[in-house]
Amino acid sequence: MVNGKMTALGGRAGLKPGETQLRKAFGDALLELAQANPRVVVLDGDLGNSTGSHTVRQAFPERFFNMGIAEANLVGVGAGFAACGYLPFITSFPSFLFCNAFDQIRLSIAVSGLKAVLVGSHSGLSTGREGPSPMSIEDFALAGGLPSLSILVPCDAASMRRAVFAAAEYPGPVYIRSSREPLPHVYDVDAPFTIGVANRVREGCDVTIIACGIMVPVSLDAAAMLAGEGIEARVLDMHTLRPLDTEAITKAAIETGAIVTAEEHLLQGGMGANVARIVTTTHPVPMRTVGIQDRYAGSASPFELMEDLGLTPDDVAAATREAVAAKR
């Protein structure tokens, strides 16, 4: 991090800075999908200009429904659309969506096995100075607590676009975690994106860093730092948290002998806990988990908060050194 500036992210790894906000990439992809698929409808919780979904409001007003500031009804109406063969994209912030409408997501969507796509923008710490109220550092745990709900965490604009299309094709309900920030290009123009299949974005044989979302560029920065010390880290973009790529995780354990996870989420109930569940079963190796330690954040810029909460490349590098040391 240089002066807490966004542009520093991914710099060490040589990533091209992102110019497109993730939410904008989402809005563009959603519009593209809506043009191609007349069954797509958008149900919005009065945040369409924040989440990016207003692209559809402008192009297809008859398929865009602002359900107001009432998330329980928002999700229920979406489920009703799904039951009639439509493909609802339900857009809000994850904190509002999962905290206000968890019961409706559970019963009307997950238990029912209805196909809907939930999209939470401004996830993680990206609301920054707004403070902890609208932040979502619990959404992996909440979404993860609902059997069958797939969880997608794109790490840049290209993977966001692919995530939207992959979510539309997926047979079950999906949650896509979006964000306010432009993120550096982990991928060039297009990204490989198969739900449930992690992308190996850096080769390495000493340790594997498994990351999602913004922590992918953070981990690539960490890996670049570690390379200077003679530690070659493999980096996996674990863009799907459910179904989790058991094969890639097991392979990483076998081939690199140590695993570090990195997520912009509480450690409790997050990705690391689920990776550990697999590692301990298939091929136990030393592990370290980078994430938020059982606390809420303050009000500051997202990058200041990442420093406060231990989510910088330095933090990931330190955890990785520990994991490598534990191998011996």
Partner 1 sequence: MPDLHELGDLTRRMRYDVLDMTGKWGGHPSSCFSAVEIVTALFFGGILRYRPDDPWWPERDRFILSKGHAAPLLYSVLVRAGYAPVEDLQRFRQRGSGLHGHPIQGTFPGVEMTSGSLGQGLSFGLGQVLAGRLSSLDYRVFVLMGDGECEEGQVWEAAMAAAHYRADRLIAIVDHNKYQQTGPISREMSLAPLANKWREFGWNVAEADGHDLGAVIAALRGMAPTPNPSPEHRGGEPRPSVLIAHTIKGKGVSFMEADYTFHGRPLAPEQDVRARAEIARGDEW
We find the least distance from the C-beta atom of residue 151 to partner 1, in angstroms, to be 21
User: Of 213, 96, 232, whose CA–CA distance to 153 is shortest?
Assistant: 213
Closest approach, Cβ 91 to partner 1, in A, equals: 15
Helix (H) or strand (E) holding 249: helix 246-256
When the beta carbons of 77 and 258 are compared against partner 1, the nearer one is: 77
Cβ(256)–Cβ(234) under 8 Å?
Answer: yes
Q: Considering the complex, what minimum distance in angstroms separates the CB of residue 80 from partner 1?
A: 2
Structure tokens at 6: 């966004």
Backbone torsions φ then ψ of 227, nearest 5 degrees: -60, -35
32 is catalytic: no
| Minimum separation from the CB atom of position 94 to partner 1 (A) | 19
What distance, in Å, lies between the first and last C-alpha atoms of the chain? 31
Nearest to 108 by CA among 141, 139, 69, 73: 73
| 207-211 vs 259-266, strand pairing mode | parallel
Nearer to partner 1, 91 or 104 (CB): 104
Which residue number, 118 or 267, has a Cβ lying nearer to partner 1? 118
Decide if residue 104 touches partner 1 (CB under 8 A).
Answer: yes
Minimum gap (Å) between residue 35 Cβ and partner 1: 16
Residue numbers 235-294 binding partner 1 by CB under 8 A: none
Q: Would you count residue 108 as binding partner 1 (CB under 8 A)?
A: yes
Region binding partner 1 by CB under 8 A among candidate stretches 110-118, 120-128, 173-181, 283-291: 110-118
Q: Where in 29-68 is the site for partner 1 (CB under 8 A)? A: 41, 62-63, 65, 67-68
Span interacting with partner 1, options 103-111, 124-132, 166-174, 186-194, rule CB under 8 A = 103-111
- Evaluate whether 219 touches 209 at the Cβ level (below 8 Å): yes
**Which residue, 61 or 230, has its beta carbon nearer to partner 1?**
61
Query: Going edge to edge, which strands form the sheet with 259-266?
Result: 199-202, 233-237, 207-211, 259-266, 287-292
3-state helix/strand/coil string of 42-85: EEECCCHHHHCCHHHHHHCHHHEEECCCCHHHHHHHHHHHHHCC
Question: Which of 36, 111, 205, 325: binder of partner 1 (CB under 8 A)?
Answer: 111
The footprint of partner 1 on residues 68-87 (CB under 8 A) is 68, 70, 72-73, 75-86
Write down the least CB distance from residue 71 to partner 1, Å. 8
Spot the catalytic one: 19, 32, 71, 255: 71
Q: What tokens appear for 322 in the block?
A: 């520990």
Binding piece for partner 1, criterion CB under 8 A, among 51-59, 105-113, 155-163, 166-174 = 105-113
Q: Which is nearer to partner 1, 168 or 195 (CB)?
A: 168
Are the C-beta atoms of 258 and 324 separated by less than 8 Å? yes
Q: Which residues of 130-169 are buried (b: 16+ CB within 10 A; e: fewer)?
A: eebeebbbbbbbbbbebeebbbbbbbbbbbbbbbbbbbbe
Q: How many residues bind partner 1 (CB under 8 A)?
A: 31
DSSP 8-state assignment for residue 167: H
Q: Omega before 284 cis (within 30°)?
A: no
- Residue whose CB is less far from partner 1, 86 or 303: 86
Q: Return the number of the residue (143 or 158) whose C-beta is nearest partner 1.
A: 143
Catalytic residues: 71
Name the site residues for partner 1 (rule: CB under 8 A): 41, 62-63, 65, 67-68, 70, 72-73, 75-86, 88, 103-104, 106-108, 111-114
